[in-house]
Amino acid sequence: MNFDLHKNLLDNLYDGVYFVDREKTITYWNKGAEMISGFSSSGVLGSCCSDNILMHVDDQGTLLCKELCPLAATIADGAPRKTEVYLHHKDGHRIPVVARIAPLHDEQGTIIGAVEVFTDNSSHIAALQRISELERVAYIDPLTELANRRFTEITLRARFDEMWRYGWQFGVILMDVDNFKRTNDLYGHDVGDRTLRMVAQTLLKNSRSFDVVGRWGGEEFLAIIMNTKRDHLKSIANRFRVLVEKSSLSVGKEVVQATISLGATLANAKDTAVDLLKRADRLMYQSKTAGRNCVSVD
């Protein structure tokens, strides 16, 4: 089998596939990698994979490209690896992927590089089905592609009904983009809109398929989290915070980043929707007062 046939087979995979040499310079980048990451083959070939391309982080926000890179580890010791990481999409948001790495050998058995296969791990099919339904009933926010406030309010009422009827616990996370006016003032409203989309897509891609993240208004977002307890809710909120902080946009020669302040709280049987949202709002502003880019939980 010749290289063209191999390339044709790899290019028709939905998974992302790329090859690197021993210096981690990208030598091949398939169409699946283009689709998942947003980076074209022509834009990345000859670059190092850590050169503002995928920039994998773990769920604590640790950048793996420098010291903890699984690709470099496989090149060094020849051992295959599988890991769950968050790659950097060209549009700035973070996408959870399962990455599988294997060494590449020459005819003498010497390691000459590695191959990474990465699979979108963001409940993509379920998310597409949810988006299709939202589009059908016109409940999508056109800028961020999240559920709009109307759909989010309907979902909130449904979660209260389920809690009162079946005892199913849920919580909410209210989030606000920090210093958003300054971003608009420095870079203009177009970059401000791109920043909101970046934050929104990071939240959406890293939420469970049965949870709902909506645009609550302006630069505020509301996540409605099913089947959760306090520690779990706090963990989800902190993951959102970390992944937004580690997302970025390229604007000319500058890198634009954003942080969010979060208020997370569980609903209880005595709550109304107004009570719950007031508590989440108070907690969110508690995070603002504490210095921003943090989570307050009640």
pLDDT tens digits along 139-178 = 889 899 999 999 999 999 999 999 999 999 999 999 999 9
Q: How many residues are listed for the chain in this entry?
A: 298
- State the pairing for strand pair 260-266/170-177: antiparallel
What is the pLDDT, as a whole number, of residue 137? Answer: 64
Question: In this structure, which amino acid lies at residue 281?
Answer: D
Q: Would you call 219 a catalytic residue per the annotation?
A: yes
Give the chain's domains with CATH numbers.
Answer: 3-120 (3.30.450.20), 124-297 (3.30.70.270)
pLDDT digits 0-9 by tens, 242-272: 999 999 999 999 999 999 999 999 999 999 9
- Say if residue 81's pLDDT is above 70: yes
Q: Which two tokens stand for residue 62?
A: 């640790």
Place of tokens 């009827």: 165
Residue 62's Cβ-count burial label (10 Å; 0-12, 13-18, 19+) is middle
- State the pairing for strand pair 81-88/94-105: antiparallel
> Which pairs from 253-257 meet CB under 8 Å and 24+ separation?
256/183, 256/187, 256/191, 256/194, 256/195
> Dihedral, CA atoms, 154, 160, 166, 167, nearest 10 degrees?
150
In the predicted model, what is the mean pLDDT of residues 40-50? 90
Q: Which two tokens stand for residue 241?
A: 């915070």
Active site residue: 67, 145, 153, 219, which one?
Answer: 219
- DSSP symbols for 94-114: EEEEEEEEEEEE-TTS-EEEE
Indicate yes or no: pTM above 0.85: no
Average pLDDT in the chain? 92
In the predicted model, what is the mean pLDDT of residues 62-66? 84
